Structures are given as C-alpha cells and as structure tokens.
C-alpha cells in the first residue's frame, strides 16, 4: 500500500466515527444525584454481555496465542500498546462533604465538653443531679401465705437466682485512690441503690458493678443522693434503666428461727450468699455512740466486711433487712464474733431511705455541730491524773473534741477540751442524754448550756453560754 492510499484510509476512518454525546453540566449531575437519592438506587445503563473465559487446565499457559497467526517458535511476543491511564473523573460536590464533616465534628466536640464538665463536677449521673427533689414510691410485699412456693424458690439456689441480679458491688474512691468496697441493693429500675452510710462516708467518688457483669471490668459511675450517719443508711444513683429491683418484704412478719440468706460481696468476692436463721429479734444496735439505736435482726448467717449494704432475705427472696458488718463489730468491745451478725429491719429503714431518695437528707432533725469523746468518764479519769477533778465534775458532762465551722458554738467562748455539764437544765454525759436534752427543738432554737473548764492552776471554772441549733442535712451530730 502506497503512502497516499494509507492517508486516504485514515481520513475515511475518522469521518466514519460517531460524535461523542454532550457531557452533563455539574448542576445537571447534582440534580440527578438528588433525584436518585429520593427515588431509589440509580439504574445503570445496560452493559454489553460479557462471556466468562472457559476454564483452563491447571498447567495451561496464561497467554493463549492467536490460532490464526501463531508466533514462530522462540519469537518474543510484541508488547501490548499502552492505552494510557484511565481518565480521572473530576471531584464533585466537595463542599457538601466538607460541610457534613464539620457538623459531625461540632456535635462530637459539644458532647465531649458536656461529659468533661459532668466528670469535673461529679454531681450528675444521667438526668439526675445531687440535690434534686423527687417523689418516690417503693412497694413492700407481705410474705406469701402459701408455703408451697414454686419449685426451687425456697432454696438457696432459688433465692440466689431471684435476688442476686438486684445486688451490686460498690467501689469508693478518695482523691483518685480506691478506699474500699461494699454492697448495695437495687431499689428501682432506673438505678437507685440502698447501702450503708459507712460504706460511702469519707469518699468523693463512687462506682458500681452489676452482678450480671461480674466477670467483666465494667463499672458505672454513681452519685451520692444522700446519707444519714445516725442510722447508717445511704442512697446512690447510677444512670441505667431496665435494672432488676429487689422485692422488699415486711419485717414485721418475720419469725424467730426463720431461715434467711445474706447476699453481698464479702472481702470483695462478688455474688456471695450465706445461709442462716433469725437468731434474735428487735435487737437495739448502733455502730457508734453518736448513732441512733436501730431495730435489727440478729442472724448466724455470715456477715463479713464487704457485706455491708447487702440484703438479708427470706425464703421467698424478699428483702427483710440491710446487712451491716459494722454493727456486728460494735458488739462486745468492738470485736467480731462467729455467728453473730446484724441487719437493719427493712421496715425501720424504709422511711429513711425514702427521704434520702426524695430530698437527700432526713427532714425534721437538728444538729449541734460538735464532736465529743464517746467515754467522758474515761477522759475525766485521764485528766484526773494531772489535776484533781472537783466532785461535781466526776462522771458528768461531755468533753468537747471538736466544733464544726458552721456550728453556732464557734461564736461562744466554749473551746475544744472543755466540758458541757448541762443543756437546758438537763445534765448530759453521752449522746443519748444530749439527744434527750434537745428533743422537740427545731433549727434556730436556742440552747442554754452550763459549761466548765479546768484552769492551769487546777481550779474548776464554770461558765454559761447560749447557742442556736442547726438544721441537720448531713446526718452528723
């Protein structure tokens, strides 16, 4: 073929090519994308049928020569012509993606800010903030009349299966360091938990582990709703729903010798249950001299440190008491005894728990704002070794150990180390006599005191003061 013939052939081929369709403008593509989003997936134009290559034997060459024009033996195959890189489609609508990403980042940033602020304040869990006033309804149930309960329910295994999901393990922290563990009873589906005040006292952060997740390290931050040291009761709150609240029983229906079970976390061993009987009824017990006497069950079911705040339940799995290892150690000079455990009767605890849930403290109480030695006579005898105490002071009065900053006593001449001999004309010598002296008084009422101090020369000096009572919102004295 001559050069002129080749040029003519190329020109005819160029004229025979079909023109390319016009490309859509960017705005048309955007409209088409939006229409596709609302109308459903975009349908691709029909594609030419492609036939899959026939399977080749395992030892077949990967290159199949053209049978019409076979390559001569030993001749190298000509390289395939380079068709160029595929044309890059220009990026469209980048500003939409950027705007969407910016909105997501702003939302994440705002959420992180809120979480950080809550963690810094440490007073909010979920929608609850410490100090909120709510209305509480807790139901108590009578003991089933039919003793023939469902199979397994009236056994340790049946009780554990029913009650254990309602028992939690509590961890306490102070300044970031772990300080102790205890137990708690789930009261409501939305995360209110009852425990002992001594479990949560002196801590500034709390965490709770559920029985259902005892094999994991997952815990939930908790907020202290309120505590009452005078009755050794407290309430925590976690931000969860769908929990398993315990069934609360009626402690007035409990009988001496009745079988009971103690559930809790002794020594941090979560999900423990011990078996015993009611070995004593209506025991008047208090853990410290400044606490109130509480009506308690005595039981030989093992109640050890870590069990505090857990549940004492009957054969039907109803909570009839809140266990406290501290009460057991307070009997007989503070030593612990085998088979001697105590639990606050649930009927005694319920009014306190409800008030703590509703307003964070027990209303209608007053406090003085002092600490004094629990054994005034022993302190007087110790002082008598240095000076001879006058007869009128021997065995009477309370010696002040400390005065709270918010107490009205800071505005008087009474100082730590000195004595209060009488309040409103009634002699005082311990917490019980002090409580009787101010019984019936309210916050802001004035108390007249006869006091004494021992001067440097050993002489007794008496003096009188007046101070006003505080509203008790702390459960302290």
Handedness of CA 451, 453, 459, 464 (dihedral sign): negative
- Given a contact cutoff of 8 angstroms between Cβ atoms, the answer to whether 211 and 327 are in contact is no
Burial annotation 392-418 (CB, 10 A radius, 16+ → b, else e): ebeebbbbbeebbeebbbeebebeeeb
Give the three-class secondary structure for 11: helix
- Given a contact cutoff of 8 angstroms between Cβ atoms, the answer to whether 202 and 173 are in contact is no
CA–CA gap between residue 256 and residue 368 (Å, rounded): 39
- Given a contact cutoff of 8 angstroms between Cβ atoms, the answer to whether 223 and 236 are in contact is yes
Beta-strand ranges (E) seen in 34-136 are 124-125, 128-129
Residue by residue, what is the 3-state secondary structure of 427-472? Answer: ECCCHHHHHHHCCCCCCCCEEEEEEEEECCCCCEEEEEEEEECEEC
In degrees to the nearest 10, what's the CA dihedral of 276, 279, 282, 286?
A: -70
Catalytic center residues: 198, 232, 308
- Given a contact cutoff of 8 angstroms between Cβ atoms, the answer to whether 353 and 193 are in contact is no
């Amino acid at each position: 073929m001559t050069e002129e013939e080749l040029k003519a052939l190329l020109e005819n081929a160029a004229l025979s090519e079909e023109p390319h369709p016009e490309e859509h403008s960017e705005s048309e593509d955007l409209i088409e994308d939006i229409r596709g989003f609302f109308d459903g997936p975009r349908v691709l134009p029909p594609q030419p049928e492609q036939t899959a290559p026939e399977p080749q034997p395992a030892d077949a060459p990967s290159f199949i020569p053209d049978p019409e024009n076979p390559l001569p033996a030993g001749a190298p195959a000509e390289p395939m012509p380079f068709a160029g890189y595929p044309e890059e489609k220009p990026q469209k609508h980048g500003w939409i993606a950027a705007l969407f990403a910016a909105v997501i980042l702003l939302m994440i940033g705002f959420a992180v800010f809120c979480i950080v602020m809550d963690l810094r304040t440490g007073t909010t869990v979920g929608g609850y903030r410490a100090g909120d006033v709510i209305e509480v309804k807790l139901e108590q149930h009578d003991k089933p009349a039919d003793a023939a309960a469902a199979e397994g329910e009236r056994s340790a295994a049946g009780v554990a299966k029913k009650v254990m999901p309602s028992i939690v393990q509590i961890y306490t922290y102070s300044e970031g360091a772990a300080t102790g563990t205890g137990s708690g009873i789930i009261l409501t589906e939305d995360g209110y938990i009852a425990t002992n005040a001594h479990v949560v006292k002196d801590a500034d952060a709390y965490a709770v582990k559920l029985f259902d997740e005892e094999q994991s390290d997952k815990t939930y931050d908790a907020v202290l709703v309120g505590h009452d040291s005078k009755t050794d009761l407290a309430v925590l709150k976690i931000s969860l729903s769908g929990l398993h609240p315990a069934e609360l029983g009626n402690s007035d229906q409990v009988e001496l010798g009745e079988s009971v079970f103690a559930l809790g976390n002794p020594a941090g061993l979560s999900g423990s249950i011990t078996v015993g009987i009611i070995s004593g009824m209506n025991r008047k017990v208090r853990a410290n001299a400044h606490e109130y006497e509480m009506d308690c069950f005595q039981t030989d079911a093992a109640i050890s440190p870590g069990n505090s705040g857990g549940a004492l339940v009957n054969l039907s799995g109803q909570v009839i008491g809140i266990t406290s290892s501290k009460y057991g150690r307070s009997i007989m000079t503070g030593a612990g005894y085998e088979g001697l455990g105590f639990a606050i009767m649930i009927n005694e605890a319920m009014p306190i728990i409800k008030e703590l849930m509703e307003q964070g403290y027990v209303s209608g109480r007053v406090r003085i704002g002092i600490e004094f030695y629990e054994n005034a006579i022993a302190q007087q005898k110790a002082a008598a070794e240095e000076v001879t105490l006058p007869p009128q002071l021997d065995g009477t009065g309370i010696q002040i150990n400390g005065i709270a900053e918010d107490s009205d006593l800071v505005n008087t001449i009474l100082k730590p180390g000195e004595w209060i001999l009488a309040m409103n004309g009634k002699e005082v010598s311990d917490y019980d006599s002090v409580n009787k002296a101010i019984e019936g008084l309210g916050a802001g009422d004035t108390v007249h005191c006869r006091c004494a101090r021992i001067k440097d020369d050993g002489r007794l000096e008496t003096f009188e003061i007046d101070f006003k009572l505080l509203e008790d919102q702390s459960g302290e004295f």
